[in-house]
Structure 1
Amino acid sequence: MNKCRIALLFVLLSLLFCWFNYSRLNRHVSAQTSAPFGAVTTVPLIISEFRLRGPNGPNDEFVEIYNNSDFAHTVNSIDGSASGYALAGSSNAVINDGLVATRFVIPNGTVIPARAHLLATNSNGYSLTNYPAGNGTTAVGNITYTVQIPDNVGIALFGTSLPFNYTVANRIDAVGSNADNNALYREGTGYPAIPSTALEGSFFRRLPGGCTGSLSGNCNTVVLLTSTLGPSSSYPQDSDNNAVDFLYGDVSATDLGVSRRLSAPGPKNLFAPVTGTFTSGLVISRLDTTVPEDAVPNRVRNTTAGSLQNSTFGTVTFRRRVTNNLGQPITRLRFRIVDITTLPSIGSGCNVEPAPAVCAADLRALSALNSVVSTNDPNVCGGGSTPCNVTVQGTTLEGPPVQAFGGGFNSSWSADSVTAATPLFNGTSINLQFVTGLQQTGVDRLYILVEAFPRSGPATTAVIRLAGPVPPASFQFEQPVYSVQEDITSTSVTVLRTGNTETAVTVDFATADGTATQKQDFTIARGTLNFAPGEVSKTIPLLISEDSKVEGTEVFSISLSNPGGGAIGTTGTASIQITDDVLEPVTNVNDDPATFIGQHYHDFLNRQHDAAGLAFWVSTITSCGANQQCIDVKRINASAAFFLSTEFQQTSFFVIRLQRAAFARKSNSPATRFPYLEFIRDARRVGNGVIIGQAGAEQQLENNKQAYATDIVTSSAFISRFPLTLSAAEYVDALFSSVMVITSADRQAAIDAFGAGGTAGRVAALRSVTDSASLTNAEFNPAFVLLQYYGYLRRNPTDAPDNNDDGYQFWLNKLNQFNGNFIQAEMVKAFLLSGEYRNRFGQ
Structure 2
Amino acid sequence: AIDTFGFVTGTVPPPPSAPANDNFVNATQINGLSGAVTGTNISATKEPGEPSNIPDTTGGKSVWYRWQSPASGTAVLDTLGSGFDTTLAVYRGSSVAALSLVPNGANDDIILGEELQSRVTFSVTAGEIYHIVVDGFDGDFGNITLNWNISGATPTPTPTPAPTPVPIPWVSNAQFTGASYAANESDGKATITVTRTGDTSGTGKIAYATRADAGFFRCDVVNGQASERCDYSTTVGTLRFGAGEIQKSFVVPVADDAFVEGSESVGLTLYTPTASVSNATLTITDNDATPPTTANNPFNGNSFFVRQHYLDFLAREPDAGGFNDWLNVLNTCGPGQGNLGSPTNCDRIHVSSGFYRSPEFTDRGYFVYRFYEAALASRPLYAEFIPDMASLSGFQTSAEQEQNIAEFIAKFMSSSGFVQRYGTPSAANAATFIAQLENSAQLQIAEPLRTQLISEMGGGQKTAAQTLRAFVESQQVYDKFYFRGFIAMQYFGYLRRDPDTAGYNDWVDVLTNGRASAGVGPGDYRHMIRGFVYSVEYRERFGQP
> What is the TM-score normalised by the length of structure 1?
0.38
Corresponding residue for 2:359? Answer: 646
Corresponding residue for 1:748? Answer: 451
Distance 1:816 1:499 in 2: 58
Shift of 1:474: 4.3
**Is 2:301 aligned against 1:592?**
yes
User: The residue matched to 2:195 in structure 1 has which SS?
Assistant: strand
**Is 2:264 aligned against 1:551?**
no
Q: Which amino acid aligns with 2:454?
A: I
Corresponding residue for 2:523? Answer: 821
Partner of residue 837 from structure 1, selected from 524, 532, 538: 538
Q: Aligned ranges for residues 782-801 of structure 1 at < 5 Å?
A: 782-798=484-500
Distance 1:534 1:716 in 2: 37
Distance 1:473 1:707 in 2: 18
Corresponding residue for 1:635? Answer: 348
Provide closer, same or farther for how the CA distance between residues 701 and 632 of structure 1 changes in structure 2, counting only shifts above 3 A.
farther
Shift of 1:716: 7.2
User: The residue matched to 1:651 in structure 2 has which SS?
Assistant: helix
Shift of 1:740: 1.4
Provide closer, same or farther for how the CA distance between residues 767 and 488 of structure 1 changes in structure 2, counting only shifts above 3 A.
farther
Provide closer, same or farther for how the CA distance between residues 815 and 488 of structure 1 changes in structure 2, counting only shifts above 3 A.
farther
Partner of residue 574 from structure 1, selected from 265, 281, 287: 281
**Is 2:409 aligned against 1:709?**
yes
Contact 1:474 1:498 in 2 (8 A): yes
Distance 2:244 2:418 in 1: 31
User: The residue matched to 2:476 in structure 1 has which SS?
Assistant: helix
Q: Which amino acid aligns with 2:210?
A: A
User: The residue matched to 2:342 in structure 1 has which SS?
Assistant: helix
Provide closer, same or farther for how the CA distance between residues 488 and 784 of structure 1 changes in structure 2, counting only shifts above 3 A.
farther
Corresponding residue for 2:508? Answer: 812
Shift of 1:613: 0.7
Corresponding residue for 2:73? Answer: none
Provide closer, same or farther for how the CA distance between residues 567 and 716 of structure 1 changes in structure 2, counting only shifts above 3 A.
closer
Distance 2:300 2:260 in 1: 17
**Is 2:466 aligned against 1:776?**
no
Contact 2:259 2:288 in 1 (8 A): no
Q: Aligned ranges for residues 169-248 of structure 1 at < 5 Å?
A: none
Q: Could you report, residue by residue, the CA deviation over 1:752-805 in whole angstroms, capped at 9, with x for unpaired residues?
A: 5536237x432221111111111111111111111111000011114xxxxxx2
Partner of residue 601 from structure 1, selected from 293, 307, 310: 310
Distance 1:534 1:516 in 2: 36
Distance 2:209 2:340 in 1: 44
Q: Which amino acid aligns with 1:601?
A: Y
Contact 2:174 2:277 in 1 (8 A): yes
**Is 2:439 aligned against 1:737?**
yes
Provide closer, same or farther for how the CA distance between residues 565 and 781 of structure 1 changes in structure 2, counting only shifts above 3 A.
closer
Shift of 1:582: 6.9
Unaligned runs of 5+ in 1: 1-471, 666-672, 691-695, 799-804
Shift of 1:719: 5.2
Contact 1:525 1:680 in 2 (8 A): no
Q: Aligned ranges for residues 298-447 of structure 1 at < 5 Å?
A: none
CA radius of gyration, larger in: 1
Corresponding residue for 1:660? Answer: 373
**Is 2:183 aligned against 1:484?**
yes
Provide closer, same or farther for how the CA distance between residues 488 and 642 of structure 1 changes in structure 2, counting only shifts above 3 A.
farther
User: The residue matched to 1:548 in structure 2 has which SS?
Assistant: coil
Shift of 1:531: 5.4
Distance 1:638 1:503 in 2: 41
**Is 2:541 aligned against 1:541?**
no
Contact 1:483 1:579 in 2 (8 A): no
Corresponding residue for 1:678? Answer: 384
User: The residue matched to 1:483 in structure 2 has which SS?
Assistant: strand
Provide closer, same or farther for how the CA distance between residues 632 and 789 of structure 1 changes in structure 2, counting only shifts above 3 A.
farther
Provide closer, same or farther for how the CA distance between residues 565 and 499 of structure 1 changes in structure 2, counting only shifts above 3 A.
farther
Distance 1:763 1:754 in 2: 10
Shift of 1:487: 4.0
Corresponding residue for 2:464? Answer: 762
Shift of 1:735: 1.7
Provide closer, same or farther for how the CA distance between residues 724 and 775 of structure 1 changes in structure 2, counting only shifts above 3 A.
closer
Q: Which amino acid aligns with 1:497?
A: R
Provide closer, same or farther for how the CA distance between residues 503 and 730 of structure 1 changes in structure 2, counting only shifts above 3 A.
same
Distance 2:349 2:323 in 1: 16
Contact 1:750 1:766 in 2 (8 A): no
Matched length: 348
Distance 1:564 1:724 in 2: 21
Q: Which amino acid aligns with 2:377?
A: A
Corresponding residue for 1:17? Answer: none
Q: Could you report, residue by residue, the CA deviation over 1:125-156 in whole angstroms, capped at 9, with x for unpaired residues?
A: xxxxxxxxxxxxxxxxxxxxxxxxxxxxxxxx
Distance 2:410 2:299 in 1: 39
Q: Could you report, residue by residue, the CA deviation over 1:594-639 in whole angstroms, capped at 9, with x for unpaired residues?
A: 1100100000001111111111111111112424544374101101
Distance 2:300 2:423 in 1: 49
Q: Could you report, residue by residue, the CA deviation over 1:384-429 in whole angstroms, capped at 9, with x for unpaired residues?
A: xxxxxxxxxxxxxxxxxxxxxxxxxxxxxxxxxxxxxxxxxxxxxx
User: The residue matched to 1:619 in structure 2 has which SS?
Assistant: helix
Q: Could you report, residue by residue, the CA deviation over 1:724-754 in whole angstroms, capped at 9, with x for unpaired residues?
A: 4443322222222222112322423433553
Q: Could you report, residue by residue, the CA deviation over 1:331-362 in whole angstroms, capped at 9, with x for unpaired residues?
A: xxxxxxxxxxxxxxxxxxxxxxxxxxxxxxxx
Distance 1:498 1:560 in 2: 17
| Identical-residue share of aligned pairs (%) | 29
Provide closer, same or farther for how the CA distance between residues 820 and 612 of structure 1 changes in structure 2, counting only shifts above 3 A.
farther
Q: Which amino acid aligns with 2:194?
A: V
Structure (1 or 2) with the greater helix fraction: 2
Distance 2:251 2:229 in 1: 17
Partner of residue 497 from structure 1, selected from 196, 216, 231: 196
Q: Which amino acid aligns with 1:766?
A: L
Q: Which amino acid aligns with 1:575?
A: L
Distance 2:489 2:536 in 1: 18
User: The residue matched to 1:600 in structure 2 has which SS?
Assistant: helix
Distance 1:561 1:624 in 2: 44
Partner of residue 624 from structure 1, selected from 315, 329, 333: 333
Provide closer, same or farther for how the CA distance between residues 588 and 719 of structure 1 changes in structure 2, counting only shifts above 3 A.
closer
Shift of 1:557: 1.7
Distance 2:228 2:343 in 1: 26
Distance 1:566 1:796 in 2: 28
Provide closer, same or farther for how the CA distance between residues 532 and 714 of structure 1 changes in structure 2, counting only shifts above 3 A.
farther
Bigger mean CA deviation after superposition, 519-528 or 809-818: 519-528
Contact 1:506 1:564 in 2 (8 A): no
Provide closer, same or farther for how the CA distance between residues 578 and 711 of structure 1 changes in structure 2, counting only shifts above 3 A.
same
Shift of 1:567: 6.2
Contact 1:506 1:529 in 2 (8 A): yes
Shift of 1:527: 4.6
Contact 2:296 2:543 in 1 (8 A): yes
Shift of 1:482: 2.1
User: The residue matched to 1:705 in structure 2 has which SS?
Assistant: helix
Partner of residue 525 from structure 1, selected from 215, 219, 235: 235
Aligned-residue CA RMSD (Å): 3.0
Provide closer, same or farther for how the CA distance between residues 651 and 820 of structure 1 changes in structure 2, counting only shifts above 3 A.
farther
